[in-house]
């Protein structure tokens, strides 16, 4: 399959590329690196990337930034940043990508554990992750041409613990390679409208 992978240079993205790359053609996309430049916060950038690529068999997103701050310290800019990058960025990726996706192709988005297990200073991430999961369930009943959509919701990644450990005390970290398996399940399987919770 020809798979567009957004966020391929990140911790999760590298693991997804390693998991799928042995069997499929991975087109790496990112804001500053990769085979294709694609900025999730810029819909025109998403459209330009697909115009360059043409048809793909699968779209996988392992990217999406959010702001972390105590609830009452989150300013309008931080809320908008989180919505534009991770929520609407992935929604726009799915909507634009559907037009360039082969019949029966799949879209896999990334949410995260904070949709169901919030932490202090993580309200923006909880909002965005929960919204994405609801979008995936709703989109799965309306996508055309037998296209499928799922989300992967990993816990905090083991490789990211040096940075995030103070915020995730008591959480069991998940190796990125384990989270990457859910992308294979989504892309190579037959399910749609699912949220694969890892960890």
pLDDT band for position 5 (50/70/90)?
Answer: very high
Buried b (16+ CB within 10 A) or exposed e, 81-117: bbbbbbbbbbbbbbbbbbebbeeebbbbbbbbbbbee
Chain CA centroid to CA 23, Å:
21
Confirm if 80 and 128 have CB atoms less than 8 A apart. no
Confirm if 113 and 104 have CB atoms less than 8 A apart. no
Average pLDDT over residues 34-61: 97
Residue 36 belongs to domain with CATH number? 3.40.50.720
pLDDT at 13: 98
Instruction: Tell me the per-residue pLDDT of 120-148, one tens digit each, with 9 for 90 and over.
Output: 999 999 999 999 999 999 999 999 999 99
User: In this prediction, what percent of the chain has a pLDDT beyond 90?
Assistant: 99
Cα 59 from Cα 44, distance rounded (Å): 17
* C-alpha distance from residue 10 to each of 60, 61, 111 (Å): 13, 11, 15
pLDDT at 58: 99
pLDDT band for position 101 (50/70/90)?
Answer: very high
Q: What is the model's pTM?
A: 0.98
Confirm if 126 and 115 have CB atoms less than 8 A apart. yes
Domain that holds residue 70: 2-198
pLDDT at 18: 98
Q: How many domains does the chain have?
A: 1
pLDDT at 156: 97
């Amino acid at each position: 399959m020809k798979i567009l992978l957004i966020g391929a240079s990140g911790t999760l993205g590298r693991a997804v590329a390693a998991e799928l790359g042995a069997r499929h053609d991975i087109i790496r996309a990112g804001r500053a690196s990769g085979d294709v430049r694609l900025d999730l916060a810029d819909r025109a950038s998403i459209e330009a990337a697909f115009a360059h690529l043409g048809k793909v068999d699968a779209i996988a997103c392992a990217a999406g930034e959010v702001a972390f701050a105590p609830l009452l310290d989150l300013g309008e800019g931080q809320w908008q940043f989180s919505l534009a990058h991770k929520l609407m960025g992935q929604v726009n990726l799915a909507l634009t990508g559907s037009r360039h996706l082969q019949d029966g192709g799949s879209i896999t988005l990334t949410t995260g554990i904070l949709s169901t297990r919030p932490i202090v200073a993580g309200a923006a991430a909880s909002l965005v992750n929960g919204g994405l999961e609801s979008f995936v369930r709703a989109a799965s009943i309306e996508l055309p041409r037998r296209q499928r959509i799922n989300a992967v919701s990993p816990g905090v990644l083991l490789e990211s613990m040096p940075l995030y450990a103070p915020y995730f005390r008591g959480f069991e970290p998940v190796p990125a390679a384990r989270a990457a398996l859910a992308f294979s399940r989504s892309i190579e399987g037959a399910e749609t409208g699912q949220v694969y919770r890892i960890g």
